[in-house]
Amino acid sequence: MLSATRNRDGVLIGFAKITRDLSERKRAAEELAERARQQSVAAELGLYALQTAQLDRVIERSMQTIRETLQIDDVRILRAGESPLPGARTVRIHAPEPDAEYGFLAASASRPLTANDVRFLQAIANVVAIAMARSQSEEQLRLAERDAVEARGRSVRIQEALLERDEFISVAAHELRTPLTALQLKLQGLESSGGLPPPKGERLGAAVRQTERLARLIDRLLDVSRIAQGRVEMTPEIFDLAVLVRQVAEDFREPATQARAVLELQLPEKVEGSWDRLRIEQVLVNLLSNAVKYGTGKPITVKLEEAGDVVRLCVADRGIGIAPDDVDRIFGRFQRAGAHPELRRHGSRPVHHAAHRRGATGARSPSTASPAKARLSSSSCRACPRRQQQAGATSRGRAHDGDRAGAGRCSSSKTTPTRACARGSFSRT
């Protein structure tokens, strides 16, 4: 641009030339346009990565995008331990997890890369990192789904095997009962006829008792089958519970004496009610058997008391108890306590027969024990009405909730830290 220059009198004395350098502004505009183009290309690549599940295709597209956008030929992903080429520019592929490492994105060019080029490389590296993280998550999800399918398959196979086992037990028990019943009738007929000399009569009596024992064992097998199917049959009858407790306790006098354990009874004269005699006897026999076997020769107390409308039965020993780690596990059928030194000597402590856990008469519910020494356990029988259901009624409910209710009713009673106590509450009405 030329501009005339004049003096004060207006006389032209010359011209002034003004020039402007536009190269800097042009360069800034070009850089801005290039950055916008690179951002647009990175955004398109990000959209492609979101729509493409295959990681290798996303990586291949990313490398192609860098080569075409920056006009370079050598671009690669460096894994851990790999070194870039001399003069290559690298950017980190950031992993979402702080302790994870995805590697680096390295680009080699014949020209120096600008700041916009480096930012573009980082944007592409971020797209690759997101694709890698999603691929890993999808792989973990596939593995989890596969494990879940396999676990469900194993569970189904286990359930089928359990059903087959229970069906076999039921069939076997019924098949055993038929010839045993005929044998019992013949032996009982011979016994009732009398006239046998003492040696033969004693042998006949022993044979009758053995057949009765076999009959009880078969009944237990049938109990297992009924329990598994949730249909434990109850046969209530009116009887004196104190008499039953005395009878069962007397049967354990000799085993308790052999174990050097004193069997103490604290019973009222008479406690009448309507209960299933066989089920309550099963509970009591099982608890006394455990107390004698695992009571370590210390006194065993059997206590029966009336408290309003409730009759409470307590079998307490002062033996090795049950470890806290075994409390939850032992509620399974035929489960046993862990490897306490005394348990290894006597054999793992069984908590109770399955009928006592899942039936309607009783259950074992151990309380907490000292972590250093397995020494305290308690059991609570499920509350039974003084007047139970009619004969032939079926108990389909699991004893789990009832067991915990029974444990709550008995929790007010105190036990010493070295005492194992099995309590049962029986409602009058």
> Per-residue pLDDT for 308 more than 90?
no
- Split at pLDDT 50, 70, 90, the class of 426 is low
Q: What is the pLDDT of residue 138?
A: 92
| Residue keyed to tokens 């494990």 | 147
Burial of 107 (0-12, 13-18, 19+ CB in 10 A): buried
Q: What is the pLDDT of residue 361?
A: 39
Residues 297 and 261 sit within 8 Å (Cβ to Cβ):
yes
> Per-residue pLDDT for 4 more than 90?
no
Rounded to whole angstroms, the Cα distance separating 282 from 31 reads 91
Q: Tell me how far CA of residue 116 lies from CA of 28, 106, 170, in angstroms.
A: 12, 15, 80
Dump pLDDT digits (tens) for 140-151. 999 999 999 999
Residues 225 and 173 sit within 8 Å (Cβ to Cβ):
yes
Q: Tell me how far CA of residue 323 lies from CA of 360, 375, 376, 423, in angstroms.
A: 26, 7, 8, 18
pTM over 0.95: no
Residues with Cβ within 8 Å of 58's Cβ and at least 6 positions away in sequence, in order, are 48, 49, 52, 127, 128, 131
DSSP 140: H
Dump pLDDT digits (tens) for 394-408. 333 333 333 333 332
> Per-residue pLDDT for 43 more than 90?
yes
Lookup: tokens for 190: 């011979």
> Per-residue pLDDT for 416 more than 90?
no
> Per-residue pLDDT for 357 more than 70?
no
Q: What angle do CA 167, 171, 176 make, to 5 degrees?
A: 145
- Split at pLDDT 50, 70, 90, the class of 347 is very low
Average of per-residue pLDDT across 31-38:
90
3-state SS assignment for residue 412 = coil
- Split at pLDDT 50, 70, 90, the class of 19 is low
Q: Tell me how far CA of residue 364 lies from CA of 55, 226, 315, 420, in angstroms.
A: 56, 19, 11, 11
Q: What residue type is assigned to position 3 of the chain?
A: S
**Residue ranges with strand state E in 61-136:** 74-78, 89-92, 104-108
- Split at pLDDT 50, 70, 90, the class of 40 is very high
Rounded to whole angstroms, the Cα distance separating 347 from 113 reads 77
Rounded to whole angstroms, the Cα distance separating 52 from 61 reads 11
- Split at pLDDT 50, 70, 90, the class of 173 is confident
> Per-residue pLDDT for 66 more than 70?
yes
Q: Which of 155-159, 352-356, 382-386 has the lowest mean pLDDT?
A: 352-356
Rounded to whole angstroms, the Cα distance separating 285 from 219 reads 15
Q: What is the pLDDT of residue 349?
A: 43
Q: What is the pLDDT of residue 329?
A: 74
Q: What residue type is assigned to position 266 of the chain?
A: Q
Q: What is the pLDDT of residue 307?
A: 80
Residues 71 and 60 sit within 8 Å (Cβ to Cβ):
no
Rounded to whole angstroms, the Cα distance separating 390 from 233 reads 10
Domains of the chain: 39-229 (3.30.450), 238-427 (3.30.565.10)
Average of per-residue pLDDT across 289-293:
89
- Split at pLDDT 50, 70, 90, the class of 386 is low
Closest of 261, 266, 329 to residue 290, by C-alpha: 261
Rounded to whole angstroms, the Cα distance separating 265 from 301 reads 6
Mean per-residue pLDDT over the chain, rounded: 76
> Per-residue pLDDT for 126 more than 90?
yes
> Per-residue pLDDT for 375 more than 50?
no
> Per-residue pLDDT for 353 more than 60?
no
- Split at pLDDT 50, 70, 90, the class of 371 is very low
* Torsion angle in degrees (nearest 10) through CA of 105, 106, 109, 115: 60
Rounded to whole angstroms, the Cα distance separating 181 from 183 reads 5
Average of per-residue pLDDT across 87-101:
84
Residues 300 and 315 sit within 8 Å (Cβ to Cβ):
yes
Q: What is the pLDDT of residue 335?
A: 66
> Per-residue pLDDT for 278 more than 50?
yes
Q: What is the pLDDT of residue 382?
A: 37
Rounded to whole angstroms, the Cα distance separating 272 from 428 reads 9
> Per-residue pLDDT for 122 more than 60?
yes
Q: What is the pLDDT of residue 58?
A: 94
pLDDT-above-70 percentage for the chain: 75
Backbone angles phi, psi at 334, to 5 degrees: 60, 25
> Per-residue pLDDT for 372 more than 50?
no
| Residue keyed to tokens 């396999």 | 150
pLDDT-above-90 percentage for the chain: 27
- Split at pLDDT 50, 70, 90, the class of 29 is confident
Average of per-residue pLDDT across 182-203:
82
